A = this chain, B = another copy of it.
Amino acid sequence: MQSAQTLYASLWEKGKELQVLKSISTLIGWDQETYMPKQGIGIRSMHKQYIEALLHQEMTSTHFQEKLSHFIDLDSGKFLSVQGLDDIQKAALREWRRDVVKEKKLPEKFVKAFAKATSEGTSVWAEARAANDFTSFQPHLEGLVKLCRERASYLGYKDHPYDALLDEYEPGMTTKTLDKLFAGLKTFLIDLTHKLSKKSVQADFLYGSFEEKAMLDFDYFLVESMGFQKDTYRLDTSSHPMCLSLHPKDVRMTTVTKTRDLFSANISSVIHEAGHGLYEQGLNEEWFGTPLCEFLSMGIHESQSKLWECFLGQSLPFWTYFYPHLQKAFPKHFANVSLTSFYQAINQVSPSLIRIYADEVTYSLHVILRYELEKALLEGSLQVKDIPQAWNDKMQAYLHISPKTDAEGCLQDIHWSAGLFGYFPTYALGNLYAAQLLDALQKRYPDWNAKVEQGQLLFIRDYLKEHVHQHGRLYTPDELLRKATGHSLNEKYFKDYLQKKYPV
């Protein structure tokens, strides 16, 4: 028993080194987005390359694998010699194995080819989007789709190659499950969108020239109200909002203050990033150095940001409390706008071309469209050259609108150029997880509404920490959800939420 603990301890030491290395890499990325002098980009690339190579090297070191193999069979995942270890330690071993196996499955040659293709891909994509020229991007995308098929083969799958990619972002998720969830959702959302989009509301007061300092002050007020504690986080400005975590006690978010779009680009974004940030802060520090002190999946991460951004941050109780503060912060803009008008403006439902600006009803349709195209590309039932047409057909079918250009159509997102096939569905999953978690929270706190109206948000942070954050990768997403809500993922909670919020 002693020897198992000693061996586990030395594995954990190595795990700490890996997590420290990831944290350093995050710091480097944060600095680049916030304070790096522009011409520092050269040395910055060298920083990144060095750390990434080292991480790969350390992850795949035979030393680490040998230690791990003592406890668990790397091929099958079966525990071998874990007498004396507790369930937490076994879960850590399970997740270490998951990471190592994935890292091992991809040959170094492939990893390099993939990195090269995505690095070139993103820069070609940026030019193609700017020039609205899909054909210049087409050969690169063809190469990337081929590489993603190879990736799926290396990673392995049972039913569908796309499952291998999905599993990278959402462990255990399959096309079979997604097809079922999305089928139930798609017609519902299409129907709701077209019923709601007939209503037009005034929203011009959300746009204009807002004082940057006042925006940042209000952002801080929001973030601290949500439960961030002084000296454990940062909120800086950058050209796009983000959240990076160096450690649960050092979480760094950014907000955009150079914008004329107060709600979407600033307020809503900062609530979104703070939702991500609270998840990172809620991880169990005591497990630092094991995968259990890491977030569970992209879908679960997105559920935390979406829950705060939309389900709470676009709710009437939330703004019943915060709107007077907003009016005080921007008297020129909101003194003569009622809470009702404001609430209607931030919840307007209307089909639009760009995913990131979509409202909470149409948003998931943008995601489902991408999922369907990705799956077809992986299967080979859709050719890259036919993407623009397929995209526009689906936009017409789901949202009744058509992009005039590919730049505002199939070229709008960076993901494909970066090889991130399998990532998009997690955005929609975030909404579904969030709705289901919120339902459980509301059952636990029937008076949640009245609390939020009084600006009490800490009970929400604490609930999410208890049921989601602190567990890290201890459970699978499905286990976590069943423990928290009593059920596996079901799209009905999201549908119920929308139906109640948007009566037609």
Contacts and interface: CB of A to CB of B under 8 A. Distances in A.
A104 interface: no
Contacts of A38: 231
Interface in A25-53: 27-28, 31, 35-40, 42-44, 46-47, 50-51
A249 interface: yes
A246 B32 CA distance: 13
A451 interface: no
Interface stretch (A15-23, A138-146, A170-178): A15-23
A20 B54 CA distance: 12
A211 to B, nearest CB: 16
Interface in A229-286: 231-234, 236, 246-247, 249-250
Given A23-B47, A27-B28, A51-B24, A42 B249 contact: yes
A246 B40 contact: yes
A47 B17 CA distance: 9
A164 to B, nearest CB: 33
Nearest to A232: B39
Interface residues of A, number: 31
Contacts of A42: 247, 249
Nearest to A288: B43
Contact of A21 (B50, B231, B236, B250): B50
Contacts of A250: 36-37, 39-40, 43-44
B40 A249 contact: yes
Contacts of A40: 232, 246-247, 249-250
Given A31-B31, A50-B20, A50-B24, A43 B246 contact: yes
A27 B47 contact: yes
A43 B249 contact: yes
A223 to B, nearest CB: 13
Contact of A232 (B16, B37, B233, B247): B37
A100 to B, nearest CB: 20
A51 B50 CA distance: 12
Given A27-B31, A42-B247, A249-B42, A20 B47 contact: yes
Interface string A322-350: 00000000000000000000000000000
Contacts of A46: 16, 20, 23
Interface string A164-187: 000000000000000000000000
A124 to B, nearest CB: 26
Nearest to A19: B46
Contacts of A36: 250
Contacts of A233: 37
Given A47-B27, A50-B24, A39 B231 contact: yes
A35 B246 CA distance: 13
Nearest to A251: B37
Contacts of A35: 35, 234, 236
Given A40-B246, A247-B43, A24 B20 contact: no
Nearest to A45: B20
Contacts of A37: 231-234, 249-250
Contacts of A24: 24, 28, 47, 50-51
A213 to B, nearest CB: 12
17 contacts: A17-B50, A20-B50, A21-B50, A23-B46, A27-B27, A27-B28, A35-B35, A36-B250, A37-B231, A37-B234, A37-B250, A39-B231, A40-B249, A40-B250, A42-B249, A43-B250, A44-B250
Given A20-B47, A42-B249, 13 more contacts: A20-B43, A20-B46, A21-B50, A23-B47, A31-B31, A35-B35, A35-B236, A37-B231, A37-B232, A37-B250, A40-B249, A43-B249, A44-B250
Q: Which 4 A-B pairs have the closest CB atoms?
A: A40-B250, A43-B247, A38-B231, A39-B249
Interface of A: 16-17, 20-21, 23-24, 27-28, 31, 35-40, 42-44, 46-47, 50-51, 231-234, 236, 246-247, 249-250
